[in-house]
């Protein structure tokens, strides 16, 4: 039996978490969700997922700070930002924080799954929104 990659999702918007879970479930083992950065850190340390899909703008602790905290804690997860922010500054900040993937929420259906597979192969992936 093939072991499915384990994915943890973090976003403060419940309907988006539900949509992402539905999208990913046929391909990955969605092991949990978090509604804020603090919850993301504790769930990631507890569940040890292979991939973490995270929003930038979240309460308590933003996604970039949460990723940096996880990396300092020794997390080996691959990080993908799924966000409405699409400027180069945000993409650069996410990369500098340690993320391999960056997917615009408007492109989630077509780009999130390929971004996760790319991250699992240690390959950077950026979907930029159509301008």
CA pair distance 88, 105, nearest whole angstrom: 15
**Mean pLDDT along residues 87-99:** 88
In a domain, 100, yes or no: yes
What 3-state DSSP class applies to 16? helix
In a domain, 72, yes or no: yes
In a domain, 1, yes or no: no
In a domain, 92, yes or no: yes
**Cβ neighbours, 10 Å, residue 95:** 16
pLDDT band for position 1 (50/70/90)?
A: low
User: CATH code at 101?
Assistant: 3.40.50.2300
User: Looking at the 3D structure of the chain, how many domains does it have?
Assistant: 1
With a pLDDT cut of 70, the percent of the chain lying above it is 95
In a domain, 35, yes or no: yes
Contacts of 44 by beta carbon, 8 Å cutoff, 6+ apart: 8, 34, 52, 70, 75, 77
With a pLDDT cut of 90, the percent of the chain lying above it is 79
Token digits of residue 98: 């340690």
In a domain, 44, yes or no: yes
Residue 74: give the domain boundaries. 6-127
- Whether this model's pTM surpasses 0.85: yes
């Amino acid at each position: 039996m093939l072991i499915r990659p384990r994915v943890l999702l973090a976003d403060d918007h419940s309907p988006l978490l539900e949509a992402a879970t539905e999208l990913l479930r046929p391909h990955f083992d969605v092991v949990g969700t978090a509604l804020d950065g603090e919850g993301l850190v504790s769930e990631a340390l507890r569940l040890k997922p292979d991939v973490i899909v995270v929003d930038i703008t979240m309460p308590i602790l933003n996604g970039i700070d949460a990723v940096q905290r996880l990396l300092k804690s020794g997390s080996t997860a691959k990080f993908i930002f799924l966000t409405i922010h699409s400027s180069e500054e945000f993409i650069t900040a996410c990369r500098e924080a340690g993320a391999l993937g960056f997917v615009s929420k408007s492109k989630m259906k077509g780009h999130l799954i390929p971004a996760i597979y790319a991250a699992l192969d240690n390959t950077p992936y950026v979907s930029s929104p159509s301008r």
